A = this chain, B = another copy of it.
Amino acid sequence: MEVYKGDEIYSESSEQVVCKVDHEIEPESSEQPVYKNESDSESSEQEVNPWEVSTKDGGKIDYDKLIDKFGCERVDESLINRVQRLTCRQPHVFLRRGVFFAHRDFNEILDAFERGDKFYLYTGRGPSSEALHLGHLIPFMFTKYLQEAFKVPLVIQITDDEKCIWKNLKVADTKKLGRENVKDIIACGFDITKTFIFSNFEYLGGAFYENVVQVGNCITLNKAKGIFGFSGEDHIAKISFPPVQAAPSFSSSFQHLFPGEENLRCLIPCAIDQDPYFRMTRDVAPRLGYSKPALIESSFFPALRGKSGKMSASDPNSAIYVTDSAKDIKKKINGAVSGGQDNKDDHKKYGANLEEDIPFKYLSFFLENDSELEHIKKEYGEGRMLTGAVKKRLTEVLIEIVERHRRARAAVTDEMVNAFMAVRPLPSMFE
């Protein structure tokens, strides 16, 4: 599970996203068309699947089209208000500002919570790099919030097997990367009494494998080709993998956590490129007598160089890594694509183009203070605030986040990794 596509562009300002409450909600049956071959027709203008996120001419991802195509629902204001009411706290900034902008059955999870029914969270990470960047942290920051707000257990799947399959990494290397990534995940502040982190290479087996086989028994090769675009030249390990990502959606895969609870509901926070896995999972669930997992899905985090600047592993300047120094961060932010005008006079006259301004977008992810953000939006958008000031403020915010993460990560020991990954019951996981 790769929860972040770093080389892609977060295409909509947050305000636009949360305000589109008039968007038609797709009926549940819209999960069916997933089995047409998605490489056909107009969908070829943008390709979003777990291994590729791209648009025809390098332009923006059209999230409205994506929601239509995938058949998920928009997160609207009434849903956000309901979260606030039920959890008695302000919803996370990623929810308020439309980073997590789409869902499937999230309302049913809220119904369950309101009734006092239990559920659990499931997210994951494919360990393809040692140092994480900020985009990698987004789903974990949000998941931590969900865990705290709803007081529920969480399982985190480290798909070291996936990276061995797709990136052709050696088993030992992906396992090692996985453990390093687990340290960053733990540093996000998860509650060890409610959190089980597992490596597929180490945990897969037993009841989990039983679910893998049962899911695989429900998906024909033709369906898998339709969902994931597999070809005859793909290795069969790839074709074997989707049920492995599906299995954690079913509580019976975790006998040490949920013994006798075969049908606990599951909520999956993830980036929307993971939707194909879980459309498949939701399609299969009733045939196995399981509940469909609910989803809450994020858009992609923008690259520093903006839509035309391709983010790549070979260009470390395209992202802020959690290992970057304050000096690195300052330099990178200064080089980010700006929506400010070329000279001061024009800027005062026309204001900044916030749609194109990466520093402002980053602030909308990471500046927690709503009124300050609103102030910057107005002042900068109307040309009274200059690009330099916005970049300076963002630099402060990010240095603080990265420093805090670095301190937290430095405190994570191998013993803590082992403790989070121990196959153990979590007796107070709902408290």
> Which residues of A (135-170) have their CB < 8 Å from a CB of B?
161, 164-165, 168
Number of identical monomers bound together in the oligomeric complex: 2
- If the complex has contacts A210-B171, A213-B164, A213-B165, are A220 and B205 also in contact, measured as CB distance less than 8 A? no
Q: Is the CB of A219 within 8 A of B242?
A: no
Closest CB in chain B relative to A222 CB, distance in Å = 4
* Interface: A366 (CB within 8 A): no
Of the candidates B161, B201, B220, B232, the one whose C-beta lies within 8 Å of that of A234 is: B220
> Which residues of A (205-220) have their CB < 8 Å from a CB of B?
205-206, 209-210, 213-220
CB contacts (< 8 Å) of A209 on chain B: these are 161, 200-201, 204-205
Closest CB in chain B relative to A71 CB, distance in Å = 22
Which of A45-53, A187-195, A223-231, A388-396 lies at the binding interface? A223-231
Q: Which residue of B lies closest to A215 (CB)?
A: B237
Closest CB in chain B relative to A252 CB, distance in Å = 10
* Interface: A203 (CB within 8 A): yes
Q: Is the CB of A236 within 8 A of B220?
A: yes
Of the candidates B165, B200, B218, B242, the one whose C-beta lies within 8 Å of that of A216 is: B165
Q: Is the CB of B240 within 8 A of A236?
A: yes
* Interface: A233 (CB within 8 A): yes
CB contacts (< 8 Å) of A171 on chain B: these are 210, 213-214
CB contacts (< 8 Å) of A232 on chain B: these are 220-222, 225
Closest CB in chain B relative to A407 CB, distance in Å = 34
Q: Is the CB of B235 within 8 A of A230?
A: no
* Interface: A355 (CB within 8 A): no
CB contacts (< 8 Å) of A237 on chain B: these are 213-217, 219, 243
Q: Is the CB of A161 within 8 A of B243?
A: no
Closest CB in chain B relative to A213 CB, distance in Å = 5
Q: Is the CB of A164 within 8 A of B235?
A: no
Q: Is the CB of B216 within 8 A of A206?
A: no
Q: Is the CB of A221 within 8 A of B201?
A: no
Q: Which residue of B lies closest to A162 (CB)?
A: B213
CB contacts (< 8 Å) of A236 on chain B: these are 216, 219-221, 224, 239-240, 242-243
Q: Is the CB of A235 within 8 A of B206?
A: no
* Interface: A173 (CB within 8 A): no
Expressed in whole angstroms, the Cα–Cα distance for A164 and B231 within the complex equals 26
CB contacts (< 8 Å) of A224 on chain B: these are 236
Closest CB in chain B relative to A194 CB, distance in Å = 24
Closest CB in chain B relative to A161 CB, distance in Å = 5
- If the complex has contacts A203-B205, A236-B224, A239-B240, are A164 and B214 also in contact, measured as CB distance less than 8 A? yes
CB contacts (< 8 Å) of A62 on chain B: these are none
CB contacts (< 8 Å) of A213 on chain B: these are 161, 164-165, 171, 201, 237, 240
Q: Is the CB of B214 within 8 A of A239?
A: no
- If the complex has contacts A236-B243, A243-B236, are A210 and B217 also in contact, measured as CB distance less than 8 A? no
CB contacts (< 8 Å) of A225 on chain B: these are 232
Closest CB in chain B relative to A204 CB, distance in Å = 5
CB contacts (< 8 Å) of A222 on chain B: these are 232-233
* Interface: A117 (CB within 8 A): no
13 contacts between A and B (CB under 8 A): A164-B217, A165-B217, A171-B214, A204-B205, A214-B237, A216-B236, A217-B237, A220-B232, A220-B234, A220-B236, A221-B233, A221-B235, A236-B242
Which A residues contact B (CB, under 8 angstroms)?
Answer: 161, 164-165, 168, 171, 200-206, 209-210, 213-222, 224-225, 230-240, 242-243
Closest 6 CB pairs of A and B: A205-B205, A216-B237, A240-B240, A222-B232, A217-B237, A171-B210
